[in-house]
């Protein structure tokens, strides 16, 4: 679990702002759900036999003996909230969320115990356009963030019934080659055999490559759904790879599943993952309602994203107020408040604690501010202010305080546009 210090927090803000504005441009509306939910919600929806539920959840009894869990993901909480508040039956819903998630995994690069996701979920829409929309939204986010090295992997798990049928076929195949399975896979043969397909064990790759393909077993409606999705992605010029072994680590999926991966981040290269979950609402206690969504891992995305100096500069003041003497302090604090009234995005830092001009200039310089706004007793008496450019070789000059707003507007014009974070 990491602290995010101010030099990094600005990057998080820029990233979250990009994701938020993109999702809102597709008319997804934000939903905020609690970080704690009843344990049962996750075990029922993510699946008793999954690693998340079996090994990774932070679960504890509260003072009443009710079992609660720090959310390991966001989809289950969204379903619970929309059901509880009657929104699931109120026509299609498109929502997005972001925030911390918790999994007690073995920490390594790109894998944390408290990590952050931004996700989107859509409910009540069966047709494949919405699956395509989900994928297009992700592609737009990569584009806006300048992320190039990502690949889209796609598969269809078919209906719940066809998946059960395939489960039988796969178990027969793997049981016939049990001597080639590792210990983990032998355990999964009875609990969660589809996940064996996902194994990274090099010694099992040949066996898994030759396994009967899941796509051959899916029902015809699911096959049509998948064909429509692929046609939509093709007509929008999106590249993807069909990965017949993509099964996902959560049990609620049917039909479409997808992952965006990169080879730039080492072992933890999945930036974003999602798919369709048409049975989940019913499992959680509602009327059967289709659903589809994704979640992206923000720590991993940040690793892939660079920000310009101008963007990172939003963390430093534009103006540092140098204030020498009591009268200057009194005048200066009011002047800064008046400026903020007129220019709400102006970043002006008031020097506190007195000191000589020299020592205050040093601090102004260190603050990375573009200009020092200087007030001493003389300026106060004349109702003027001195302005000293700090980032270019230019002389200090004096203006009347009544002209200050216009002067600052002129000086900061070129960077105004970037200040509306
Ligand atoms: P997930 O594959 O478990 O899916 O997680 C989605 C993404 O969260 C991963 O691709 C990864 O980028 C990030 N992530 C997961 N675990 C960690 C970790 N320990 N440290 C850092 N990043 C991590 C879900 O959570 C589903 N709820 C996605 C979804 C939404 N499906 C439908 N709607």
| Tens of pLDDT, residue by residue, the chain (421 residues) | 999 999 999 999 999 999 999 999 999 999 999 999 999 999 999 998 889 999 999 999 999 999 999 999 999 999 999 999 999 989 999 999 999 999 999 999 999 999 999 999 999 999 999 999 999 999 999 999 999 999 999 999 999 899 889 999 999 999 999 999 999 999 999 988 998 998 889 999 999 999 999 999 999 999 999 999 999 999 999 999 999 999 888 889 999 999 999 999 998 999 999 999 999 999 999 999 999 999 999 999 999 999 998 899 999 999 999 999 999 999 999 999 999 999 999 999 999 999 999 999 999 999 999 999 999 999 999 999 999 999 999 999 999 999 999 999 999 975 544 444 4
For 280-298, the pLDDT digits (tens) are: 999 999 999 999 999 999 9
Is the C-beta atom of 75 inside 6 A of ligand 1?
Answer: yes
Closest CA to 99 of 137, 140, 70: 70
Tell which one of 74, 284, 295 to mutate to probe ligand 1, the residue whose CB is within 8 A of the most ligand atoms: 295
Q: Is the CB of 368 under 6 A from ligand 1?
A: no
192-251 pLDDT tens trace: 899 899 888 999 999 999 999 999 999 999 999 999 999 999 999 999 999 999 988 888
Residue 5 CA to ligand 1 center (angstroms) comes to 24
Q: CA 15, 19, 23: angle at the middle one, nearest 5?
A: 170
Give the total residue count for the chain.
421
CA of 375 to the centre of ligand 1 (A): 53
CA dihedral for 224, 158, 301, 269, sign (positive or negative):
negative
Mutate to test the pocket of ligand 1, among 73, 114, 257, 258 (most ligand atoms within 8 A of CB): 73
For the CA of 272, the nearest atom of ligand 1? 10
| Pocket of ligand 1 contains residue 279 by CB under 6 Å | no
Instruction: Give exposure, 305-341, as e/b (b: 16+ Cβ within 10 Å).
Output: bebeeeeebbbebbbbbbbbbeebbebbeebbeebee
299 lines ligand 1 (CB under 6 A): yes
What is the distance in A from the centroid of ligand 1 to the CA of 321?
45
Give the CATH fold of the 317-419 domain: Rossmann fold (3.40.50)
Q: Is 151 exposed, middle or buried (0-12, 13-18, 19+ CB in 10 A)?
A: middle
- Tell me whether the CATH fold assigned to 6-159+218-304 matches the one assigned to 317-419: no
Q: Which atom of ligand 1 is nearest to the CA of 295?
A: 28
* CB 331 less than 6 A from any atom of ligand 1: no
Class of domain 6-159+218-304: alpha beta
Distances (CA, A) of 39 to 7, 58, 282, 401: 36, 9, 18, 62
Out of 134, 273, 298, mutate this one to test ligand 1's pocket (max ligand atoms within 8 Å of CB): namely 273
Strands (E) across 26-81 are located at 29-30, 36-38, 58-61, 67-70
Domain ranges in the chain are 6-159+218-304, 317-419
């Amino acid at each position: 679990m990491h602290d995010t210090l101010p030099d990094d927090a600005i990057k998080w803000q820029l990233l979250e702002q990009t994701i938020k504005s993109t999702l809102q441009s597709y008319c997804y509306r934000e939903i905020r759900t609690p970080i704690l939910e009843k344990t049962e919600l996750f075990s029922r929806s993510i699946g008793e036999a999954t690693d998340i539920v079996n090994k990774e959840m932070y679960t504890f009894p509260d003072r009443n003996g009710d079992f609660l869990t720090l959310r390991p993901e966001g989809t289950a909480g969204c379903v619970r909230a929309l059901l509880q508040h009657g929104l699931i039956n109120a026509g299609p819903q498109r929502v997005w969320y972001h925030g911390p998630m918790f999994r007690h995994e073995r920490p390594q690069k790109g894998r944390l115990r408290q990590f952050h996701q931004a996700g989107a979920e859509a409910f009540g829409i069966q047709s494949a356009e919405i699956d395509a929309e989900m994928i297009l939204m992700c592609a737009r986010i990569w584009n806006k963030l300048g992320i190039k090295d990502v690949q889209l992997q796609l598969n269809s798990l078919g209906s719940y019934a066809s998946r059960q049928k395939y489960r039988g076929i796969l178990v027969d195949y793997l049981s016939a080659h049990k001597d080639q399975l590792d210990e983990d896979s032998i355990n999964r043969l009875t609990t969660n055999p589809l996940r064996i397909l996902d194994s990274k064990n090099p010694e099992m790759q040949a066996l898994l490559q030759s396994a009967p393909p899941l796509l051959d077993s899916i029902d015809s409606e699911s096959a049509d759904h998948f064909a429509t999705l692929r046609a939509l992605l093709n007509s929008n010029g999106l590249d993807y790879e069909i990965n017949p072994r993509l099964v996902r680590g959560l049990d609620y999926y049917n039909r479409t599943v997808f992952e965006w991966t990169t080879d730039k981040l080492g072992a933890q290269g999945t930036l974003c993952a999602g798919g369709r979950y048409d049975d989940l609402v019913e499992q959680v206690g509602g009327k059967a309602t289709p659903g589809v969504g994704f979640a992206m891992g923000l720590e991993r995305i940040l690793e892939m994203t660079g920000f310009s100096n101008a963007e990172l500069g939003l963390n430093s003041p534009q103006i540092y107020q140098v204030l020498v003497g009591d009268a200057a302090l009194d005048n200066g604090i009011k002047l800064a408040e008046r400026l903020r009234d007129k220019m709400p995005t102006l970043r002006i830092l008031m020097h506190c604690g007195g000191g000589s001009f020299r020592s205050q200039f040093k601090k102004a310089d260190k603050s990375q501010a573009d200009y020092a706004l200087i007030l001493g007793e003389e300026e106060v008496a004349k109702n003027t202010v001195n302005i000293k450019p700090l980032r270019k070789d230019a002389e200090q000059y004096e203006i009347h305080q009544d002209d200050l707003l216009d002067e600052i507007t002129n000086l900061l014009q070129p960077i105004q546009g970037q200040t509306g974070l």
